[in-house]
Structure 1
């Protein structure tokens, strides 16, 4: 659990606080996405967790520990950190990058080597193919996967992600968001995600926290924020197409019923409901067969319409 209590930060010379009396509790195993316009305080809020920025007032607790009372180096070694552009060490191999924190913690070499391979498997990279590569021999998506593997290598309970997919091309970005989000949920990590991309927040976040001028305007589930904006600012931020954005946060499998439907186009169970709607529009179909680990099921256009209807 992460708990902010009355946390504020004003940088020298600034006319107003970057973060202004923030109260926020993030449950264990929850992914909390901080969103909002540029300069709203979301990255500053994240960086105060691992003391890259020190608050002027208030407290931040990890579990029952006040982070201000923890040595910054020890604190950071116990928190995974993924940032835009990844920040891999260019002179180290993929294995060397992933091994960074376990090495600093004094793990035995055999344990580190085993962990490196396990992390590469976890993020979908073949250890035999990738462990000895240098970062400049990787695609943007591959570098981002290695960055996540490095952040998770020492098995930290908390992961901070600051615009993690901003440097990845749009084709790879959505797949990475879904795959990495699923990994983090499976591992039960407590995650703070900072992003300017509302679709990314909807795909990955269990809860969205919209900030403006250093304050929290609305904290809600993705569906709650999109369906019930708290005020005109929130409604304007989520945009007039919020019904389609709601579908991006739902999977085809979650909306499917008994099936399969004979002759219908097929879609994977973990594809978004928005992708399912796009497939229907492209093919003219009103039904899809949803493929998944428990067998095929059926998805109808009516079910998608119902899911996107105003609350």
Structure 2
């Protein structure tokens, strides 16, 4: 768990605080995404956790321990850190990059070698193909995977990610977000992630914290932020198309009704067949393309019916979810 209690930071000569009286809790094993306009304080907030920036006021704790009571170097070795552009050592091989923190911690060579192989496998890079390559022989997406593997190598409970996919091309970015997000959830890591991309925030975050001028405006689950913005600033920031963004977070299986409950059989549905895990945004696109107002949903506990009316209700953004 990461907790900010009345945290503030003002840089010398600045007319206003970079971070102002921040109260925020990131639950254990969850991903919190910090988002907001440029200069809102999100990167400063993240860097105060591992003391790359020192807070002026308030208290930051990780698993109940005040970060200011820890040796900064020891603290950083216990917290994974992934940044934009990855920051791999260009003269090291991929394997040596991944081994960086375990080596600093004094792990035995055999344990390090096994860990390097396990981490490369975890992020989808075959160790036999990539372990001995240099970073300049990798694509942007591959370098980002190595950066994540390096951050996870010493099995830190907390991971900080600062614009981690900003240098990756748009084609690879969405896939990386999905895959890395799934890995972090499977490992139950507590993650604080900074991004300027609202779609990335909604895709990766269990919690999204929107900041403005150093202050926290709203912190909520992504679907709640889209369904019930706290004020006009939040509504404007998440965009007029927030209904479609909300549909991307929900699945056909969640919105469908069992066929038995609807009182019909699958044979009566003149429409497409859609997998239960399909997002409602993709389900809507498929139904509109086929001119259908309902679809059969498969792959869930039982066959179900999805209607345009149900999608419309799920997209409602004025009511709380």
Q: TM-score normalized by structure 1? A: 0.92
Residue number in structure 2 paired with 1:234: 234
Q: TM-score normalized by structure 2? A: 0.89
Residue number in structure 1 paired with 2:31: 31
Structure 1 residue 224 and structure 2 residue 224: aligned? yes
**Matched residue SS, 2:29:** coil
User: Measured at CA, do residues 238 and 288 of structure 1 come closer, stay the same or move farther in structure 2, by a change above 3 Å?
Assistant: same
Structure 1 residue 248 and structure 2 residue 248: aligned? yes
Superposed CA offset, 1:125-169 (max 9, x none) = 112111111111111111111111111111000000111111111
Residue number in structure 2 paired with 1:175: 175
The answer to which of 250-259 and 48-57 deviates more is 250-259
Residue number in structure 2 paired with 1:264: 272
Residue number in structure 2 paired with 1:277: 284
**Matched residue SS, 1:95:** helix
User: Measured at CA, do residues 277 and 66 of structure 1 come closer, stay the same or move farther in structure 2, by a change above 3 Å?
Assistant: same
User: Measured at CA, do residues 145 and 255 of structure 1 come closer, stay the same or move farther in structure 2, by a change above 3 Å?
Assistant: farther
CA distance in 1, matches of 2:187, 2:17: 35
CA distance in 2, matches of 1:301, 1:178: 27
Residue number in structure 2 paired with 1:86: 86
Residue number in structure 2 paired with 1:203: 203
CA distance in 1, matches of 2:266, 2:169: 35
Residue number in structure 2 paired with 1:14: 14
- Per the TM alignment, residue 284 of structure 1 is displaced from its structure 2 partner at its CA by 4.2
- Is 2:160–2:193's contact at 8 Å kept on the other side of the alignment? yes
Superposed CA offset, 1:286-307 (max 9, x none) = 5567676x79965634343332
Alignment: residue pair count: 309
Residue number in structure 2 paired with 1:118: 118
Residue number in structure 1 paired with 2:159: 159
- Is 2:272–2:287's contact at 8 Å kept on the other side of the alignment? no
Superposed CA offset, 1:167-204 (max 9, x none) = 11111111111111111111111010111111111111
Residue number in structure 1 paired with 2:56: 56
Please identify the structure whose Cα radius of gyration is greater: 2
- Is 1:289–1:296's contact at 8 Å kept on the other side of the alignment? no
User: Measured at CA, do residues 267 and 129 of structure 1 come closer, stay the same or move farther in structure 2, by a change above 3 Å?
Assistant: farther
**Matched residue SS, 2:91:** coil
**Matched residue SS, 2:240:** coil
**Matched residue SS, 1:128:** helix
User: Measured at CA, do residues 137 and 212 of structure 1 come closer, stay the same or move farther in structure 2, by a change above 3 Å?
Assistant: same
Please tell me the root mean square deviation across aligned C-alpha atoms, in Å: 2.2
